[in-house]
Structure 1
Amino acid sequence: MTNSVYASTMDPGIGRQVPGTGEAARCFKLGLSGCGGGLESISTSQILDLVEKVEALGFTGIWLNEEHFQGSIVEVEGRRCHSPLILASAILARTRRLRVGFSVLLAALHNPIRLAEEIATLDVLSDGRVDVGISRGNNPRYLNAYGVDPEGTADHFKDMLTFLPRAWAAGKIPFGDTAHSIEPKPIQSPHPPIYVGTNTNETAAWATKNGHKIICHGIISMPNQRWLMRAYVDAGGDPAKVPFGRFVYVSESDASARKELWPTIEKLTTRLKGFGLFKREGVIDEAGLEPENFYRDMVIAGSPETCAEKFMTLHDELGVTYLNALSAFFGFLPLPLLERSLDLMGNVLRPNLEKTLAVA
């Protein structure tokens, strides 16, 4: 299936159509992602103040990760993770334009009926500003603590993605000998957009064929991101609709960016190695967690001009137009550096890329 944003020319290197310049491909969007929506260098109460600034800076959306058992007095540095649904409610109440999404909710840990009710409630209260990112949620630590059998998570995930649109549609759903209407119904029609988070090509293709988009998390290595995007596009997906995650840090110059960010890179990669992240298939290998490799391959960093060039390289190769920045570096980036980077992202990088894509 040929997507409308593709030109008729072929890329001989990979044997597929390369991104064209359709209307969707010219609309740049900038989001933030993390346990605290990319703002988790500070406590939740302060996040709500900073969210208002983020909205004023012109960011498209904030995406909240679902994690558990992280962020306490035993962890002096690093991310602080809270209930994403409750945090989303607070953020939506403090904003008027900013969209709030999930990157991602873990299907294995949620009851489908309750999740349908809660997402629809957020959508109603926010006048339709909710995006639903969801994944299988196969972290063995979480499954064990929640008492979930890992053997059933794949079926539960696909069943949930089938159930949610039905729950949000008009009418009742049969439950045994009776039927119920799941309430409330969301504002967005036919329902809030669904983005599937995955590390496998098979699930990326399955999601697309079932009418969903994918969301690419910034912790996934670029080779794996390319495979996922190609599987998504080959199945008929539009790359311009994919929130594409990367670690992002903007400074006044390339030299200052590296100097300011390097201590954070060393702390983050040490923590990620300790988590055994490289043992998770389809994410990143051990070599990718070496600080130099990580900075080069996983991070968009530098002056606004350099960061714009790096994003346009992604756009030209993959057709992405939505940069979803892991701006807090899992909470290791000091708050003053985070705030300055956000200012440069919103005031310089964003308008520059909007203009660039508008005339492409």
Structure 2
Amino acid sequence: MTFVEVTEDPVTGVSPSPRQRVRETIEQAQAADQAGLDVFGVGEHHRGDFVGSAPAVLLAAAAAKTERIKLTSSVTVLGSEDPVRLWEQFATLDLLSAGRAEIIAGRGSYTESFPLFGYDLKDYADLFREKLDLLLNIRGQNPLTWQGRFRAPLVDADIAPRADGDTIPVWVGVGGSPASAISTGRLGLPMAMALLLGPLTSQVETADLYRMAAADAGHDVKALPISINAHGYVGRTSQGARDTMYPYFAKGMMENNHQRGAGFPLSRSVFDAQASPAAGLLVGSPQEVIDKLLTYREVYGLNRAVIQMGFGGMPQKDHLEAIELLGTEVAPVVRRESESREGAVS
């Protein structure tokens, strides 16, 4: 996945143009598809140092260059979106891609889109709940009659187009809020957890609360997918991967964080600690990333891991090499080992 950030290269001092970053994003999707990966995601931000303000448009361009990979928002800031328009865009993407569209809907940790589109941040939580309800109703029936607080009511509204197949998967992005995990579990929706930095086990409570809430609501917990979204990079060697990722990741954490240009300082020692087996970053050699992904799976019972590689403006050559390694050397082993361990347990 990518947020399509625009960051000054810490080595050359050159900033890529928005046009370059858009073209690189489509090339990344194409490389991921060819390498055999399962999903490619574009995140949503509404700031000059990101180009991903319209994920559906970028994913539509990626649909034309790919054949099998699923195409998802990661995430859609649903509280500042119109669910009707969002559905129309992703249903169109679903038609273009022959049923490969997904939506990961989130509250949004970056909140610049709320004032931009005329929403009050005091309604942050209520906006998300209401708009998620509307999105799920749109997905579930057509025509639709619906009423809420934040938009005009719908009366026998014909909302088109419809999905290419039966439905469009809607995941909920959860950053660690217990209330978000519980509400997602009650709805019986797939949960996409985010783990930026910290211990690998830092989201265990989130997963437990989600599953308990789902069970209490009568959902089949075993049928509910969970994913982890984490930063990472795959290199030929462990040291080489860290050396390649660190300067760009540190630059991105400082320049593209919530407080633009005054973000999170990350020393090399802290970065290396976060790359250790017990911490969250998925960075290292193929075998090292395989081992950590399998640990993630054991700890959380994961169905999917989405890795944000290249954050901070990593050169495209290095980014594409990492995608190739992830698809050809990491993913096949993780799939095989996961199936083997699941078979042994059952």
State the TM-score, normalized to the length of structure 2.
Answer: 0.79
Q: Is the 8 A contact 1:218 1:326 kept in 2?
A: no
Aligned to 2:12: none
Which secondary structure does the structure 2 equivalent of 1:320 belong to? coil
Q: Aligned-pair distance for 1:124?
A: 2.4
Which of 232, 236, 255 is the matching residue for 1:252?
236
Deviations 1:83-103 (A, max 9, x none): 111111111122221111111
Which of 310, 318, 324 is the matching residue for 1:343?
324
Q: Is the 8 A contact 1:135 1:197 kept in 2?
A: yes
Which of 192, 196, 220 is the matching residue for 2:168?
192
Which secondary structure does the structure 2 equivalent of 1:328 belong to? coil
- Pair 1:178–1:347, CA change in 2 (3 A): closer
Q: Is the 8 A contact 1:239 1:318 kept in 2?
A: no
Does residue 35 in structure 1 map to residue 3 in structure 2? yes
- Pair 1:99–1:289, CA change in 2 (3 A): farther
Q: Aligned-pair distance for 1:142?
A: 2.8
- Pair 1:311–1:192, CA change in 2 (3 A): same
Tell which deviates more after alignment, 175-184 or 119-128.
175-184
Which of 11, 21, 25 is the matching residue for 1:47?
25
Does residue 300 in structure 1 map to residue 271 in structure 2? no
1:73-222 correspondence to structure 2 within 5 Å: 80-137=51-108, 139-174=110-145, 178-189=155-166, 191-199=167-175, 200-219=177-196, 221=198, 222=200
- Match of 1:68, as an amino acid? H
- Match of 2:254, as an amino acid? T
Q: Aligned-pair distance for 1:116?
A: 2.1
Which of 220, 241, 254 is the matching residue for 2:225?
241
Aligned to 1:318: 300
Aligned to 1:263: 247
Aligned to 2:338: 357
Q: Is the 8 A contact 1:246 1:299 kept in 2?
A: yes
Q: Aligned-pair distance for 1:150?
A: 1.4
- Pair 1:220–1:276, CA change in 2 (3 A): farther
Aligned to 1:18: none
* RMSD of aligned Cα (Å): 3.1
- Match of 1:160, as an amino acid? K
Aligned pairs, number: 312
Q: Is the 8 A contact 2:290 2:334 kept in 1?
A: yes
Tell which deviates more after alignment, 253-262 or 318-327.
253-262
- Match of 1:204, as an amino acid? A
Tell which deviates more after alignment, 241-250 or 290-299.
290-299
Higher relative contact order (CA 8 A, sep 6+): 1
Q: Is the 8 A contact 1:205 1:232 kept in 2?
A: yes
Aligned-residue sequence identity (percent) comes to: 19
Aligned to 1:10: none
Q: Aligned-pair distance for 1:286?
A: 9.1
Task: Determine the C-alpha separation between the residues in 1 that align with 2:232 and 2:110.
Answer: 26
Q: Is the 8 A contact 1:239 1:319 kept in 2?
A: no
Q: Is the 8 A contact 2:104 2:170 kept in 1?
A: yes
Which of 42, 56, 69 is the matching residue for 2:34?
56
State the TM-score, normalized to the length of structure 1.
Answer: 0.77
- Match of 1:118, as an amino acid? Q
Deviations 1:298-337 (A, max 9, x none): 31122111111111111111111312111112x4322222
Task: Determine the C-alpha separation between the residues in 1 that align with 2:267 and 2:71.
Answer: 34
Task: Determine the C-alpha separation between the residues in 1 that align with 2:34 and 2:325.
Answer: 13
Q: Is the 8 A contact 1:103 1:217 kept in 2?
A: no
- Match of 1:148, as an amino acid? Y
Does residue 291 in structure 1 map to residue 259 in structure 2? no
- Match of 1:275, as an amino acid? Q
Q: Aligned-pair distance for 1:109?
A: 1.7
- Match of 1:51, as an amino acid? A
Q: Aligned-pair distance for 1:106?
A: 0.8
Which secondary structure does the structure 1 equivalent of 2:112 belong to? helix
- Pair 1:274–1:216, CA change in 2 (3 A): closer
- Pair 1:70–1:242, CA change in 2 (3 A): farther
Which secondary structure does the structure 1 equivalent of 2:41 belong to? strand
Task: Determine the C-alpha separation between the residues in 1 that align with 2:132 and 2:160.
Answer: 17
Q: Is the 8 A contact 1:269 1:289 kept in 2?
A: no
Which secondary structure does the structure 2 equivalent of 1:216 belong to? strand
- Pair 1:326–1:239, CA change in 2 (3 A): farther
Which secondary structure does the structure 1 equivalent of 2:203 belong to? helix
Q: Aligned-pair distance for 1:273?
A: 6.5
